[in-house]
Amino acid sequence: MKNILVTGGAGFIGANFVKYLLRKQRDILVVNYDALTYAGNLESLSDLLEEKRHIFIHGDIRDQSKIEKTLVENQIEGVINFAAESHVDRSIDNPGEFIQTNVVGTLNLLATARKLGIKRFLQISTDEVYGSLSSEEAAFTEDTQIRPNSPYSASKASADHLVRAYHHTFGMDTLITRCSNNYGPLQFPEKMIPLCINNAFCGKKIPVYGDGMQIRDWLYVEDHCEAIWKVFLKGKSGEVYNIGGDNQMTNIDLVRTILKTCGRDDSLISFVKDRPGHDRRYAINFSKIKKELDWKPKHDFASGIVSTVKWYSENREWLDHLTSGEYKSYYEKMYSGR
């Protein structure tokens, strides 16, 4: 397939994916469709201004006529849907927006893709749909029961069900990937790793929710991009593929590692009130994608975090731009009660 629609390609993983794809495939047209919410940033795509194989379209995935026009005019063959409201804390403050984009938007994309006979539809989902694990429980497999705990994960799980239903009922060629926590360049600094790096640079306190003993499985974003493209090219229609980093870590260990990498000590750590309904542990069993598609992570966390800190230190303007204005006031409001 030559002409691909990527939605949400001005966000963190989407922008990394667009760049990965343009590096990887010579013969491709990437149409990047993004609403440019607070999380979307054209500066993240500034190095693609002269790139003829990349077209940016400012639009909302809920806008049926614009999606249809985009798919027809660019002779799109495949769709990869990254567009989403993605931050758990915001979903607790305002669940409605998450239902609108993540559920209604995905349904609109599916319906329009079906109407136009799009060959393949890949939904970028998350390990959070599986819920939370105790320290003894085995890692999530693709057969683990869906038990979303936050409005964010509930909206992503709903979208997954719609994708599955479009395959089962209408015979559409769909796929779903469910990945663990990503880190790397271009991540909006409301998420834990860029927030921690930014605060460490500025000598500001780092808010650690609850006891800091929650566990996440961190994956370098480029490894995620590679897995997504493998699934899109070779994944079996109708299937779900888990993607993980094989790198479980407590939040407090993560923060200490980042502080050390930034040349700061632990005095910046500040324990704050916990996130309501906070999932304790995520862990991903990704043996299916490893066996069927020969994928495993290439970056280890020790080197990945060093290059990530280096990227943010070399791109302070990108960070400063995002930490001013609307985001700053949201951030201050959010932490004022903690």
Residue number with CB closer to ligand DAU (8 or 207): 207
CA dihedral angle for residue 47, residue 49, residue 54, residue 59, rounded to 10 degrees: 110
Q: Least distance to ligand DAU from the beta carbon of 255, Å?
A: 8
Does residue 232 interact with ligand NAD by CB under 6 A?
no
Q: Least distance to ligand DAU from the beta carbon of 317, Å?
A: 22
- Residue 246 touches which of ligand DAU, ligand NAD, none (CB < 5 to 8 A by kind)? none
Determine the interface stretch with ligand DAU among 75-83, 115-123, 203-211, 230-238 (rule: CB under 6 A).
Answer: 203-211
Contacts with ligand DAU in 79-118 (CB under 6 A)? 86-88
Q: How far apart are the C-alpha atoms of 66 and 72, rounded to whole Å?
A: 10
Does residue 178 interact with ligand DAU by CB under 6 A?
no
Contacts with ligand NAD in 89-148 (CB under 6 A)? 101, 105, 124, 126
Does residue 308 interact with ligand DAU by CB under 6 A?
no
- What lies within 8 Å, CB to CB, of 98 at 6+ separation is 85, 90, 91, 151, 152, 155
Does residue 127 interact with ligand DAU by CB under 6 A?
yes
Binds ligand NAD by CB under 6 A, chosen from 84, 129, 200, 228: 84
Does residue 256 interact with ligand DAU by CB under 6 A?
no
Residue number with CB closer to ligand NAD (90 or 264): 90
Residue whose C-beta lies closest to ligand NAD: 11
Contacts with ligand NAD in 12-51 (CB under 6 A)? 12-14, 34-37, 39-40
Window 35-74: contact mask with ligand DAU (x via CB under 6 A):
----------------------------------------
Q: Least distance to ligand NAD from the beta carbon of 220, Å?
A: 11
Catalytic residues: 127-128, 152
Residues that bind ligand DAU (CB under 6 A): 86-88, 126-128, 180-181, 191-192, 195, 207-209, 214, 216, 251, 275, 282
